[in-house]
Structure 1
């Protein structure tokens, strides 16, 4: 039987939910029996829920916790303008609660990595997700679940170079996050290898989810750098802002726009041809697989070794219909609605 990836995800998700229902019919194998009585909950330190992307990550954590009978708490910043200082503070608070396990997105290593080392030195098991794939082995974490960010960007750069782009822009909305910066590095390296000129620009994280601010910033770059004919953004919200900026400067059809991450709006833009592609890192899987690993480690002492890659997966006009159908049926599982 032939089955593409989005079909498989749909089947797997149904299977997971059925497994969760079956657990409720079995003798209680919940957090109280999986952990010692004095152990705290699993604490997840992850991305802001005001960013639609992390709603899909949290959905994976929620359904993983339900399926495996785990007690967990999700912790994230509410003020995205001060993330570099707020995330270390939240992580320090989480460590002080002596959790049974920490599932951490290591977004800002300068402040977070010393704390992760502190936690692992205390014997608190740590598993990284989404960000931190370069750091897990050195700081004592069990492993990493998430994209290969360099390959995300590198493949995007190859796609644009092969399409004939002569000058490409990588627009970074989370400067200071090595995972996100690695996407731009990969993109720029691929363009360099192809002899394509490149431009790198950033915007502060406080505006990373502000469509109007993003559109104005990208429009300004296009006006200042008039020969840009390719744009790679690092999220679905800036992708749609880039599409609108291209329209504002009157270059629809002349500038190729691609992105990392999905939303229904971005998927429909791929269908229409306004957006060329999206590099999917499958955020739901980052949450669900992390929770599955936590369950197996805390109950059996077993875990995978190393980096479990959830991306890149290229979504373009050849497979966008299936991806959109999955996201419409299972709201938000492939990204925001």
Structure 2
């Protein structure tokens, strides 16, 4: 039923003319602009939104791109179309600030309340949003760098599949900073966002990097999909067991690889909480004018051999809550 609502919402957005927003309507919709559901990570975010909506009796619409090839231009377009509907409230993942931040400022200036989730942790105060719910990306990367240093990595690779997203880039910044403090060299490489869900393209890209930098013995990826690509790349260059792989974000594949000892750790930003808590805050803000003050941090939480069994158990009982299938 909710999927059908989402499809109808996307169809409606495609034909709405851009308009100058007015003050939010009391009976307007709560609109969520969030990540593409073709990315397994955002299935957990949406599960949180869905469960929060059911728990608190909130009707909302989830809006996202279906084609990831042109996200830097498509997300501002979706946001502008959503604003033109005069929503009661906007819950926004600010993935590409160059195009999205001016629109958020436009919305908040017109009286539409905005709550940022997942991406945009450094911008929410200046654009008028009531708060931010999500990870501390620098600390996500920093802790990953510390873990690699502790495990004896002598040269690390940070592989970014979403260049242009400041949140994702901050993970690499944190990773590089921690490694530098430990006196360890790093390599930073990216791939186009159009290949961000193409495991084979990422495997080939990481394989090429390993063939150029033969001394890399640690890889930190910024999502679960490239983590599995990194694992395959390491195997294909004949270095299985020699390269410590860590990642941000979870999937069942990654969790099983941690259990098997093939991946060392995953930094969990608890995406389910980002969706669930966003709905909760929206409900309480709209009803009572209440909201948390500042950044509500949902990560980093380290998943490794010490707690992976429990995480897998939760995911088998509550599918997708701790990471996508």
Please indicate, yes or no, whether the TM-score normalized by the shorter chain is above 0.5: yes
Return the alpha-carbon distance in structure 2 between the equivalents of residues 249 and 334 of structure 1. 31
Deviation at 1:336, TM superposition (A): 1.0
Please state whether the residue corresponding to 2:298 is helix, strand or coil: strand
Q: Which residue of 261, 265, 270 corresponds with 1:277?
A: 265
Alignment partner for residue 181 of structure 1, among 162, 169, 175? Answer: 169
Alpha carbon RMSD of aligned pairs, Å? Answer: 0.9
C-alpha distance in structure 1 between counterparts of 2:174 and 2:146, whole Å: 9
Cα deviation, residue 254, structure 1: 0.8
Unpaired runs of 5+ residues, structure 1, are 1-35
- Tell me how far apart the structure 2 counterparts of residues 315 and 288 of structure 1 sit (CA, whole Å): 21
Q: What's the counterpart of residue 190 of structure 1?
A: 178
1:152-163 equivalences under 5 Å are 152-163=140-151
Q: How does 1:25-36 map to 2 (within 5 A)?
A: none
Of the candidates 88, 97, 100, which is equivalent to residue 109 of structure 1? 97
Residue matched to 2:42: 54
Matches of 1:304 and 1:272, distance apart in 2? 40
- Tell me which stretches of 4 or more aligned residues in structure 1 moved more than 2 Å: 36-39
CA distance in 2, matches of 1:287, 1:177: 19
Q: 2:71 aligns with which of 83, 108, 111?
A: 83
1:299 aligns with one of 287, 312, 317: 287
- Determine the structure 1 residue equivalent to 2:223: 235
Among 104, 123, 136, the alignment partner of 2:124 is 136
Spell out, residue by residue over 1:196-222, the C-alpha distance to the aligned partner (whole angstroms, 9 max, x if none). Answer: 000000001111111111111100100
TM-score, normalised with respect to structure 1: 0.89
Aligned to 1:170: 158
2: CA distance, partners of 1:329 / 1:265: 16
Q: Which position in structure 2 is the counterpart of 1:40? A: 28
CA shift for structure 1 position 297: 0.2
Q: Is the 8 A contact 1:39 1:98 kept in 2?
A: no
Structure-2 residue corresponding to 1:248: 236
Describe the superposition over 1:274-318 as per-residue Cα deviations: whole angstroms up to 9, x where unpaired: 000000001100000000000000000000010000000000000
- Counterparts of 2:84 and 2:235 in 1: how far apart (Å)? 50
Per-residue Cα deviation, 1:217-276 (whole angstroms, up to 9, x for no partner):
100100011110000000111001101100001111111000000011100100111000
Instruction: Tell me whether 1:123 sits opposite 2:115 in the alignment.
Output: no
User: CA offsets per residue over residues 64-88 of structure 1, 9 Å max, x none?
Assistant: 1111111110000011010000000
Inter-partner Cα distance in structure 2 for 1:184 and 1:97: 37
Kept in 1: contact 2:26–2:88 (CA 8 A): no
Where does residue 22 of structure 1 map in the other structure? none
Whether the 8 Å contact between 2:148 and 2:244 is mirrored in structure 1 is yes
Distance 1:56 1:309 in 2: 17
What corresponds to 2:17 in structure 1? none
Q: 2:100 & 2:39 partners in 1: Cα distance? A: 20
Q: TM-score, normalised by structure 2?
A: 0.92
State yes or no: 1:324 paired with 2:312: yes
| Distance in 2, Cα, partners of 1:311 & 1:170 | 19
Q: Distance in 2 between matches of 1:155 and 1:69?
A: 37
Q: Work out the CA distance in 2 between the residues paired with 1:302 and 1:38.
A: 17
Q: Does residue 333 of the first structure (1) align with residue 321 of the second (2)?
A: yes
